[in-house]
Amino acid sequence: MGTTTAGNRNSCMLHGAVQTIKSIEGAVPIIHSTSGCGVQQYAGVSSLSGNGGSGYTGGLGIPSTNFLERQVVFGGSSRLREQLKNTVKIKDGDFYVVLTGCTPELVGDDVPAMTKELQEQQYKAIHISTPGFKGSVHNGYTAALTGLLRQFDKITCTPEEQHPTREKDDRLVNLLGIIPEQDVFWRGNLKGLKDSLKGIGASANVLFGPDADEQEWTTIFNAALNVSFSAHSLEICEWLESNAGIPYVHFDGYPVGAQQTGELLRCIGKQLDLEQEKVEAWIARKENNERYYILQFLDAYYKHGFQKKFALVGDSAVVLGPARFLTDPLGLLPSLIVVTDDLPQQVRDSIVRQWNEQQPGSEARIIFESDAKVIEELLIAEDIELLLGSSIESRAAERKGIPFVPVSFPLAERIVLTKGYAGFDGAFTLLEDVGDGILGNDSRYLQDLTGAGSDRDEQGTNPKPAFSGIEN
């Protein structure tokens, strides 16, 4: 973050926090900022996350103080006090989270004091500082979760909840790092991981979305292990380790398919001291399952030439697992992986090192870049036959006349509800989507041959202007 970018896909800290909080059942985010901040999150993030919608409490229904000039001049604390007092009377929720945007942070409103007033009235309410200028949407996820954990006692007010039994459940893990909405397939991915863990006798707190069971937030401190799938969840894991004694394991991205999910389960099994035979039996069963489906798909693989050189663009948590699965076992040829989230240099180095260890001999380049124009130039120059990325990259695929598979944020032209690529079964969804991309491109090619309407020229390129007007 911090540098000028074209076609920026990483929104701000406030938006990351809003989408994180509103994805928790029973949580009500309250935005303390200008009126447009909530709409920007709704239209510019939710609706571009596979056309995500208002849901129970999002969209235009998010409480917001709608800062005005007089609050800039005189301070917005009293307006916030009024908003808080009325929100609890109007919006149904288990707890309330005040999220501050840029304007009140610059003005210096005393938000903690206003939130404390609500707490003193026995409402479960906390405040998290999330000005947009302090970070990206990913940092918003981190800030929201660490903020919730640090103030956990404030959102669990009943006597037994105030002193929750923190007895460890030695089979319970918290899954962290899959960011609601920034990961377009977040619901499906969390479900895929949860289902994958069931077979080894472990249970998972996914914490967000419809697959989070009612008691998950009350048992978050009881977990025996945290599993991090993104660099953006490391801070949360470290906090839980130092404050709740919960160790963690970290993976660069969620696992896709039997091989990667098997590695994850073996690691979790070891950490939780689970019965090794049971773990291996479950993995073996799922490997057989995967083999069955790959055999079913094999004819199409060869008939339609699936073994293509590919590029993949998206968040680190989203691209690395699919890239590995397509490379091994599927045998596709990774050429370029563009990681679009902002990561510290040591994390970047670690991702490259891990990739090279896992895929020895791979010729793939891993580039860390978020500028849509730079990425498009890289893709146009790259010798690839398949592109996986966001709606932004679809234009590059169109220009090159190659199959495109939408896998990352922003995703404007698809509806995504339950789909996910993570875990054992997620691999099949990825196969289906890659298949649709390749077969769909083949059918367009056939239409071209029969003259059934296309504006491609004889080189197969497309004369339409590229994203943000980049010309050949």
Nearer to other proteins, 190 or 372 (CB): 372
Q: Minimum distance from CB of 376 to other proteins (Å)?
A: 11
- Residue 358 CB contacts under 8 Å (≥ 6 apart), including other chains: 324
Nearer to other proteins, 106 or 113 (CB): 106
Pair 230, 316: CB distance under 8 Å: yes
Interface residues for other proteins in 127-186 (CB under 8 A)? 131-137
468 forms part of the interface with other proteins (CB under 8 A): yes
Write each residue from 412 to 451 as x if it is in contact with other proteins (CB under 8 A), else as -, in one continuous string: x---------------------------------------
Q: Minimum distance from CB of 252 to other proteins (Å)?
A: 23
Q: Minimum distance from CB of 106 to other proteins (Å)?
A: 5
Query: Per CB under 8 A, which region of 7-15, 296-304, 314-322, 379-387 contacts other proteins?
Result: 7-15
Query: Per CB under 8 A, which region of 6-14, 268-276, 397-405, 416-424 contacts other proteins?
Result: 6-14
457 forms part of the interface with other proteins (CB under 8 A): no
Q: Minimum distance from CB of 412 to other proteins (Å)?
A: 4
CA atoms of 195 and 180, how far apart (whole Å)? 18
- The position carrying tokens 């035979």 is 277
- Residue 161 CB contacts under 8 Å (≥ 6 apart), including other chains: 218
Q: Minimum distance from CB of 142 to other proteins (Å)?
A: 15
Interface residues for other proteins in 336-395 (CB under 8 A)? 373, 391-392
CA atoms of 109 and 152, how far apart (whole Å)? 23
> Cα–Cα distances in Å, from 338 out to 26, 135, 333, 375, 388?
36, 20, 15, 8, 10
Exactly one of 158, 455, 469, 472 binds other proteins (CB under 8 A); that residue is 469
Tell me how crowded residue 77 is: count the other CB atoms within 10 A of its CB: 18
Interface residues for other proteins in 269-328 (CB under 8 A)? none
Q: Residue 333 is inside which H or E element, if any?
A: strand 333-339
Coil vs helix vs strand at 343 = coil
Query: Per CB under 8 A, which region of 117-125, 160-168, 358-366, 461-469 contacts other proteins?
Result: 461-469
Nearer to other proteins, 11 or 335 (CB): 11
Pair 368, 5: CB distance under 8 Å: no
Interface residues for other proteins in 389-408 (CB under 8 A)? 391-392
Closest CA to 247 of 149, 195, 173: 173
Q: Minimum distance from CB of 60 to other proteins (Å)?
A: 4
Q: Minimum distance from CB of 29 to other proteins (Å)?
A: 10
Tell how strand 248-250 and strand 365-368 pair up: unpaired
Nearer to other proteins, 50 or 269 (CB): 50
Pair 158, 152: CB distance under 8 Å: no
Q: Which two tokens stand for residue 194?
A: 């949860």
CA atoms of 311 and 334, how far apart (whole Å)? 6
Q: Minimum distance from CB of 340 to other proteins (Å)?
A: 12
Pair 300, 306: CB distance under 8 Å: yes
Q: Minimum distance from CB of 32 to other proteins (Å)?
A: 11
Tell me how crowded residue 124 is: count the other CB atoms within 10 A of its CB: 23
Nearer to other proteins, 52 or 334 (CB): 52
10 forms part of the interface with other proteins (CB under 8 A): yes
By rule CB under 8 A, what count of residues binds other proteins? Answer: 77
> Cα–Cα distances in Å, from 88 out to 14, 58, 83, 110, 375?
21, 16, 9, 19, 45
Write each residue from 227 to 246 as x if it is in contact with other proteins (CB under 8 A), else as -, in one continuous string: --------------------
Interface residues for other proteins in 11-50 (CB under 8 A)? 11-15, 31, 34-45, 47-48
Nearer to other proteins, 186 or 409 (CB): 409
Pair 169, 181: CB distance under 8 Å: no
Interface residues for other proteins in 62-91 (CB under 8 A)? 62-69, 71-72, 82-83, 86-87, 89-91
Q: Minimum distance from CB of 431 to other proteins (Å)?
A: 26
Q: Minimum distance from CB of 91 to other proteins (Å)?
A: 6
Q: Minimum distance from CB of 398 to other proteins (Å)?
A: 14
Closest CA to 165 of 124, 240, 221: 221
CA atoms of 183 and 298, how far apart (whole Å)? 29
6 forms part of the interface with other proteins (CB under 8 A): yes
209 forms part of the interface with other proteins (CB under 8 A): no
DSSP character string of 359-402: STT---EEEE---HHHHHHHHHHS--SEEEE-HHHHHHHHHHT-
CA atoms of 33 and 53, how far apart (whole Å)? 21
Nearer to other proteins, 132 or 255 (CB): 132
